[in-house]
């Protein structure tokens, strides 16, 4: 098994700033916008982006939630390993809001499909957008595309994209792992 660095911490820093600016361009002061990180790994990314928006771009009253999609997945009883849930923390209603769903890697699109269904439990949003750090092109099972992407990669199915965040892992980095 070998590992190649796709993004180093400097690349990620630049991408985070760019994505923050793109969000501000479309959502102004975020008064009617909420960010939802997908548990567990999308939440690390969502947290970092929210910190940046608050500290560097002076966005106040930013609403951030974390959504667990375990019970909405379409592979219940179809996979060997059982699914373990993580916590959902959304203490606001998404009714009438612009929602930005945040995840680290967009692969088959099935997680996002589950997230769209799960979102319905919290009301009817005005609009839902998707923001991902890594968009794995050519591997989609569903017609789902991101509105904001950090980097697009053409990884093949046997390869795995690993996203590390400082604070949780050693440092910020994105790797491609070959089996």
Partner 1 sequence: MSELSVENLLGIKYLKTADIDLIFKTADHFKEVINRPIKKVPSLRDITIANLFFENSTRTKLSFELAEKRLSADVINFSAAQSSVKKGETLIDTVNNILAMKVDIVVLRHASVGAGVFLSKHVNAKIINAGDGTHEHPTQALLDSYSIREKLGNVKGKKIVIVGDILHSRVALSNIFALQLQGAEVKVCGPTTLIPKYISSLGVTVETNLKKALEWCDVANVLRVQNERMDVNYFPSTREYTQLFGINQEILDNLDKKIVIMHPGPINRGVEITSDVADSNNSIILNQVENGVAVRMAVIYLLAQQVKR
List of residues contacting partner 1 (CB under 8 A): 68, 70-73, 76-78, 81-85, 87-88, 93, 117-118, 120-123
- Choose between 21 and 87: whose C-beta lies nearer to partner 1: 87
Smallest distance, Å, CB 35 to partner 1? 19
Smallest distance, Å, CB 94 to partner 1? 10
Smallest distance, Å, CB 71 to partner 1? 4
- Choose between 88 and 139: whose C-beta lies nearer to partner 1: 88
- Choose between 119 and 155: whose C-beta lies nearer to partner 1: 119
Smallest distance, Å, CB 118 to partner 1? 8
- Choose between 118 and 161: whose C-beta lies nearer to partner 1: 118
Beta bridge partners of 175: 5, 162
Total Cβ atoms within 10 A of residue 80: 4
């Amino acid at each position: 098994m070998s590992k190649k660095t796709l993004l180093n911490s400097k690349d990620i820093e630049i991408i985070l700033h760019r994505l923050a600016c793109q969000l501000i361009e479309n959502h102004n002061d975020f008064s009617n916008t909420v960010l939802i990180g997908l548990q567990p790994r999308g939440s690390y990314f969502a947290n970092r982006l929210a910190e940046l928006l608050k500290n560097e771009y002076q966005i106040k009253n930013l609403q951030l939630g974390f959504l667990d999609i375990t019970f909405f997945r379409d592979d219940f009883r179809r996979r060997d390993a059982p699914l373990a849930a993580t916590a959902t923390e959304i203490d606001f209603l998404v009714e009438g809001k612009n929602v930005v769903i945040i995840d680290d890697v967009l692969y088959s699109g099935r997680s996002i499909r589950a997230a769209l269904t799960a979102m319905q439990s919290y009301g009817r949003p005005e609009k839902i957008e998707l923001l991902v750090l890594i968009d794995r092109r050519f591997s989609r099972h569903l017609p789902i595309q991101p509105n904001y992407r950090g980097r697009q990669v053409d990884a093949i199915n046997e390869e795995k994209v690993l996203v590390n965040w400082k604070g949780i892992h050693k440092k910020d980095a994105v790797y491609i792992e070959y089996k």
